[in-house]
Structure 1
Amino acid sequence: MSPDSPLAPTLADRARKVRLLALDVDGVLTDGRLYFQADGIEIKAFHTQDGHGIKLLRQAGVEVALITGRESPMVTQRAAALGIEHVFQHRDDKLTALRELTQSLGLELEQAAYCGDDLQDLAAIQAAGLGITVPNAPPYMRREADWVTERSGGHGAVRDICDTLLESQGHWAAVMDRYSLDATDRGRP
């Protein structure tokens, strides 16, 4: 782990075990506000950096899931665009969904990270191997989580999680190599 890692060493050890990142949607992948057009169509805004982080995490072999209490075609579209196969909508009991998913994937709860921002996420945050919330969550949620991201939901919080998991699991150098110019290309000997 780098010296500027947001995780304490004991949490970094838990992050190394993560094989599944499960995310709430509203308040985590979005800023939590709901937008409706005059015709009743719901609109959600997603952060592109979160999406790229999810793609990088999936390429490193970590499964990603969405578990949301609401049902929205926007969630279905976003999940499809990111290649997320595990999508649970209209599920208020997030822990039951998380248990079903870990069981179907042959994982233990300690191999799962869960990020949510409100009361219906609490049990899943407490049960996951790495329970995460965002700074825009209520204080009682922040107290219960193992880790509170620096950036808020809808503003790059999920990217922070993905980058930290990639770094914790030793994948960060490969990510940087994929996107960086080598020394020769930068005009260096």
Structure 2
Amino acid sequence: MTSAPASSFASTFDPAVLAKAAATRLMIFDVDGVLTDAGLFYGEDGESVKRFNALDGHGIKMMQQFGTAAAIITARQSPFVLRRAKDLGIAHVFQGVHDKRQAFEQLLQQTGLQAGSCGYLGDDVIDLPVLTRVGFKACVANGHREVKSRCDYVTTATGGNGAVREVCDLLLAAQGNYEAALAPYLA
């Protein structure tokens, strides 16, 4: 675990939240309502189109660059999710999963991590079976009240509109990497 970060950004968070975020080695994201705004758009061919946020994507890339891996567990199946995961370098993608516990167990086996070193960002009750097992629990601002009430951190941004970036920045700050992640852009 990294020592307490010295950044002024990190000091804006509750110390207990920072401690849980600092211990996170794998951040798991739901898709609909987290990586997207939960809107579903259907084309004539019946394919659901998804809108992703570029800020969220860059946050995931920076988070991974500094040692926190990313994974996706989602109940829906979509080629757009696979494409977005590939663009972001997310190696662990579980789609069409209605019992997210099973995918989570597979993910733990694949990575060799313990549940306590994982984080989860969700929005709805389908996320609770995994969310209640991880070390760092987060929910988007427009998430279901039952999910929010069980989380360490609730974002100020809504799903698909910067909530993922907010969590990635929090993880970077908690792990003492926020300034280093920004440095290339401030030089």
CA distance in 1, matches of 2:179, 2:140: 26
Task: Using CA pairs under 8 Å that are at least 6 residues apart, name the structure with larger relative contact order, 1 or 2.
Answer: 2
CA distance in 2, matches of 1:34, 1:84: 22
Name the structure 1 match of 2:44: 38
Name the structure 1 match of 2:80: 74
Instruction: Give unmatched runs, 5+ long, in structure 2.
Output: none
1:117 and 2:123 equivalent? yes
Task: Give the TM-score normalised by the residue count of structure 1.
Answer: 0.91
SS of residue paired to 1:28? helix
Judge conservation of contact 1:20–1:63 (CA < 8 Å) in 2. yes
Q: Which amino acid aligns with 1:134?
A: V
Name the structure 1 match of 2:143: 137
Deviation at 1:4, TM superposition (A): 5.2
Instruction: Give unmatched runs, 5+ long, in structure 1.
Output: 182-189
Name the structure 2 match of 1:186: none
CA distance in 2, matches of 1:90, 1:161: 24
1:83 and 2:86 equivalent? no
Judge conservation of contact 1:124–1:131 (CA < 8 Å) in 2. no
Name the structure 1 match of 2:29: 23
Deviation at 1:150, TM superposition (A): 0.9
Judge conservation of contact 1:26–1:32 (CA < 8 Å) in 2. yes
Q: Which amino acid aligns with 1:70?
A: R
Q: Which structure has the bigger radius of gyration? A: 1
Question: Could you give the per-residue CA deviations for residues 31-79 of structure 1, whole angstroms, max 9, x where no partner exists?
Answer: 0110001221211000000000010011111110010000001101101
Task: Give the TM-score normalised by the residue count of structure 2.
Answer: 0.92
State the aligned residue count.
Answer: 181
Identity across matched positions, percent: 41
- Runs (4 or more) in structure 1 with deviation over 6 Å come to none
SS of residue paired to 1:38? coil
Name the structure 1 match of 2:186: 180
Q: Indicate which of 156, 171, 174 corresponds to 2:177.
A: 171
Deviation at 1:3, TM superposition (A): 5.2
